[in-house]
Copies of this chain bind each other. A is one copy, B any other.
Amino acid sequence: MQHPESLQYLGVRDDIAARIAGGEFKPGERLPSERQLQIGGGVARGTVREALFQLEAEGVIYRKDRSGWYVSPPPVVYDPTRWEGFMSYVEAQGRRPATETLSKTDIVCDGMLAEIFSRPIGSPMYWIRRRRSVDGRAVLFESIVVDASLAPGLIDHDLNGSLTSVLKSVYGIGVARNKVDMRPCALTGEEAEALRVKSGLPGLNLVRTCYDAQGRVVEFDREHWRHDSLKISVDIRVR
């Protein structure tokens, strides 16, 4: 830990990082295969992989399963206090956003949701699962619950755009308050599968609770982001 200069994988890591910084590999491009990098450096494949994992943790590169290692594009900047919807937000940064609705179903309130929404157990809710991409790469998986009594028929609409704007334009529901919880996590299970990443890759878990002007919970949203795709920027007055 104190002798980085003597560790082979750190040498390989810095080597690859320098080649990326030097422009030999550009964002979105594929790196040489692990076995090729191995020959170049005269080290075992495990050592090369350790170096690649480090660069992945730093967000410099990412992998497509059994396809190769690629240079990461810059992350998307996200200000939870200025949330105008994913699509317009990403577009404003000159990137190409996309949304896929993976499922939309009727459910009923369980105990946890009942508490969040302050509604009785068994109340009708909508449950929506979406995957969102930037420039063709899946960066975000979200699982949304909406109070069906506030937005009846919501899931019959096209939900591949901004949910916020559908709530606003169709149902007249505006979001007045946002509660956001964030924590680093590992992407596992359905999140890892939806984002097509190896289970265990670090990510960011973001839980949003949206309230309308009357203080009712409109939307409860659990988001899982790739760790290398998001930069959060908050500007707030201290209370």
Question: A82-B239, A234-B80, A239-B81 are contacts. A1–B199 as well, Cβ < 8 Å?
Answer: yes
Tell me whether A202 and B184 are in contact (CB under 8 A): yes
Question: A1-B198, A53-B200, A54-B200 are contacts. A183–B75 as well, Cβ < 8 Å?
Answer: yes
Tell me whether B228 and A184 are in contact (CB under 8 A): yes
Chain B residues with CB under 8 A of A231: 181-183
Which of A10, A188, A199, A238 gathers the greatest number of chain B CB atoms within 10 Å? A238
Interface membership of A58, Cβ < 8 A: yes
Q: Shortest beta-carbon distance, A220 to chain B, in Å? A: 14
Chain B residues with CB under 8 A of A228: 184
Tell me whether B236 and A183 are in contact (CB under 8 A): no
- Which of B65, B75, B230, B234 touches A179 (beta carbons < 8 Å)? B234
Chain B residues with CB under 8 A of A203: 184
Query: Which residues of A pack against B, CB within 8 Å?
Result: 1-2, 4, 10, 53-54, 57-59, 65, 75, 80-83, 175-186, 188-189, 192-193, 196-204, 227-228, 230-239
The 7 closest A-B pairs by CB, nearest first: A184-B227, A57-B186, A54-B200, A58-B186, A202-B202, A182-B232, A183-B231
